[in-house]
Amino acid sequence: MKLRTLPLADSGIDRSDALRSDEVALKELWQSAKLIAFDGERFRVTVENEVPSLLLHSFIDLPSAQFESAYFLGIDSNNPGDHFFLTLTPTADSEGFIDETGRWFTLREMGAQLSPRDIALAAHALGLANWHSRHTHCPQCGAKTLSALGGSIRRCVKDKSDHYPRTDPAIITLVRDKDDRILLGRQKVWPEHRFSTFAGFVETGESFEQCIRRELFEEAGVEVTDIHYLGSQPWPFPASLMVAFEARITNPESARPDGTEIEEIRWFTRDSLKSEIDAGTLLLPPLISVARAMIEGWYHEGESNQDRPPLPGRETWRP
């Protein structure tokens, strides 16, 4: 199975590592940079014909923006004249914006509708902002840390050690049996009727393959045979890298929920999946997620399934 283009995974943005260490060059770029406003949870966007896009400011438009507290996100590979910074702004209900065209949305709310460039910029920005807000002190000596290298690291003011953003790898697996059904599970914290693929964080000293076997046995009681890599997707909620696989299992009759994290599991054919969505008894993962891409990849896999009607379903998140 091949996945279609994954949201968040293909940006066309050059992060320009060499520029990060050249503060003079970054300050020059700042004068003509496109600034992305972020209030700690939401991005400022413009909406045209119900389609959102990031609202890009200049430092003149955004008086609250300061170079010293901004994070460099990179340069548009397709248009090198466009360079981007994230700037933390007052909250959405505060004043300080010269124009009145912007609205505020979280990445979860608008991500599926953004262009590949905008969604990648927003994912990078959100992940970076989350990390900076949680790592204000040095883990070695406890002293204060400051943003450095365009926001790509934090540096301790006392021992001068450098600290880099953390990304937590997590596997996510589409489980299939010999009859080409897929197994989906439901977590207790999800909205009613929502089911998805199985996922879990990679533990210390564990390979992806070991993690897949452990997670699927723990959560669903199934044993894996063939494992195939499908793709990966950054998931900045708050700092994950989702590594996608499909796996065949040998004991579908043994599938059962663990009762702790997963409260229900169900097997689906393509026809039953579609009919339950239409009946309102099944909600799929959001369009922005790799889980949704995996399910849709399976649903349309093979020549006989390419013309199947698209899978509907509203966006659903945790309550």
Q: Is the pLDDT of residue 318 over 60?
A: no
Instruction: Read off the pLDDT band of 104 (50, 70, 90).
Output: confident
Rounded CA separation 37/56 (Å) = 8
CATH of the domain at 274: 3.90.79.10
Examine residue 316 and state whether it is found in any structural domain, yes or no.
no
Q: Going by DSSP bridges, is the β-strand pair 71-76/145-148 parallel, antiparallel, or unpaired?
A: unpaired
Do 213 and 121 fall into the same domain? no
- The answer to the question of residue 33 being in a domain is yes
What is the number of domains present in the chain? 3
Report cis status (omega within 30 of 0) of the bond before 238: yes
Domain containing residue 93: 13-126
101 and 205 belong to one structural domain: no
- Cβ–Cβ < 8 Å for 226, 248: yes
Same domain? 81 vs 189:
no
Query: Do residues 117 and 153 both lie within one domain?
Result: no
310 domain-assigned:
no
- Percent of the chain at pLDDT > 70 equals 93
The answer to whether residue 317 sits within a structural domain is no
- Residue 319 pLDDT: 45
Same domain, 159 and 115: no
Residues 50, 91 within the same domain: yes
- What is the tens place of the pLDDT at every residue in 143-185? 999 999 999 999 999 999 999 999 999 999 999 999 999 999 9
State the pLDDT at residue 123.
93
Give tens-digit pLDDT for 32-72. 999 999 988 999 999 888 889 999 999 888 878 899 999 99
Q: Tell me the two tokens of residue 75.
A: 């340069």
Asked which of 109, 144, 166 is the last residue of a domain, the reply is 166
Shared domain check, 93 and 172: no
Q: Is residue 263 part of a domain?
A: yes
d(CA 235, CA 292): 13
Confidence (pTM): 0.90
pLDDT digits (tens, 9 = 90+) for 253-271: 999 999 999 999 999 999 9
My answer on whether 161 and 259 are in the same domain is no
What is the per-residue pLDDT for 94?
Answer: 46
> Is 313 a domain residue?
no
Residue 286 lies in a domain: yes
Question: In terms of domains, do 99 and 115 share one?
Answer: yes
172 and 295 share one domain? yes
CB 76 within 8 A of CB 13: yes
Residue 196 lies in a domain: yes
Same domain? For 115 and 33 the reply is yes
Same domain, 161 and 173: no
The C-alpha atoms of residue 161 and residue 288 are separated, in whole angstroms, by 36
Lowest mean pLDDT among 112-116, 144-148, 265-269, 315-319: 315-319
Could you tell me the pLDDT band of residue 287, with boundaries at 50, 70 and 90?
confident
> Tokens representing 315?
């966006």
pLDDT band for 99, please (50, 70, 90 cuts).
Answer: low
